[in-house]
Amino acid sequence: MAILQIKKYPEKILKTKSEKITRIDGKLLKLSKDMLETMYFFNGIGLAANQVGELSSVFVADIKPDGKQKPIILFNPKILSCKGNCYLEEGCLSFPGISAKIKRAEKIVVCGIRPDEKEIKMEVEGILARVFQHEIDHLNGIVFFDRVNFIRRLKLNREYFRKK
């Protein structure tokens, strides 16, 4: 396994939509494992492929560092339905030093393909639902900055480049 380099805003790949995976091969499995290792290394709770420079539709997530829940690797993830709304402060490994309150659905139903190529459909809520939405946004070329209003985005942008 390897620690990958994380792409930082404003790198173009963060604004690029990822491509659907047609076959999960050894290369993709290695990528997803490397992504998990990279996410743990940088103390993240989720990571999408375009954040490490790959345009494959896959993200990884693990919100329980105590190992109670297995890490999640999901290929071709898609949100089927959303319920409720909540605001919470969010950060992103591609935007070091910046966080913003983002509105997200409280509960979502997601489908996707697991590393063992089984198709799954799952309902997630709370922090995990938030991480899923954040990472699926990444795969669609959307960053969390895009979820705040224009004025707030200008402010965050200034703050980000001042810290950089």
Q: Which residues bind Zn ion (CB under 5 A)?
A: 92
Closest approach of Zn ion to the CB of residue 134, in Å = 5
At 59, is the secondary structure helix, strand, or coil? strand
For 56, which DSSP code? B
Residue with tokens 């790198």: 11
> Residue 22 or 43: which CB sits closer to Zn ion?
43
Q: Provide the CA 68 distance to its chain's centre, in angstroms.
A: 20
Cis check for the bond before 10: say yes or no (omega within 30 of 0).
yes
CA distance 130 to 136: 10
CA distance 122 to 164: 38
Q: Tell me if 93 sits within 8 A of 44, measured CB to CB.
A: yes
> Residue 110 or 116: which CB sits closer to Zn ion?
110
Closest approach of Zn ion to the CB of residue 118, in Å = 26
> Residue 46 or 112: which CB sits closer to Zn ion?
46
> Residue 31 or 92: which CB sits closer to Zn ion?
92
CA distance 29 to 22: 13
Closest approach of Zn ion to the CB of residue 41, in Å = 15
> Which residue in the list 89, 119, 123, 135 is annotated as catalytic?
135
Catalytic residue at 123?
no
> Max alpha carbon distance in the chain (Å)?
45
At 43, is the secondary structure helix, strand, or coil? coil
| Active-site annotation, residues | 135
